[in-house]
Amino acid sequence: MSVGGCGRLEEHVRHADEAYREARYGDAEEWLERVEGDVGELDVDAQSRFYFVRGMTAYRLEHRDEALHYLVLARETSSTRPDVLLPEDNALLLRTITELMPTTADHHARAAEADGSLVSTPE
């Protein structure tokens, strides 16, 4: 579904970001799904933000393979623009990728720890 207009797309990403930061992960996922097909229309900064929020939302919902996919995209799109993500978001991004990075040849994100702990919660 096309959302239309770059400003409208960015608005959806902002709504998703707000929902994510308020720990309303289901709501964030809904906003992000509205934008998914049109991400290429966003500028690189907004794409990075989308991928970060999409990845962290997937992580919080325990969709680990999806989380790893989007977080790696966030890392790649933000690599030339270190100011795109807040320093604490960038640190969380890198910690979460490290946690999820496969250690076997099956290319799936590592499973959660036995205690079910996650990296950290958003502030």
Distance, in Å, from the CA atom of 110 to the CA atom of 17, rounded to the nearest integer, reads: 25
Per-residue pLDDT, averaged over 47-63, amounts to 97
Q: Where are the alpha helices (DSSP H) in 1-123?
A: 6-21, 25-35, 44-60, 64-78, 87-100
Per-residue pLDDT, averaged over 63-85, amounts to 93
Of the chain, the end-to-end C-alpha distance in Å amounts to 32
Distance, in Å, from the CA atom of 20 to the CA atom of 5, rounded to the nearest integer, reads: 23
The CATH code that applies to domain 6-100 is 1.25.40
Per-residue pLDDT, averaged over 36-41, amounts to 92
pLDDT tens for 3-36 read 455 678 899 999 999 999 999 999 999 999 989 9
Residue 77 has what pLDDT?
Answer: 93
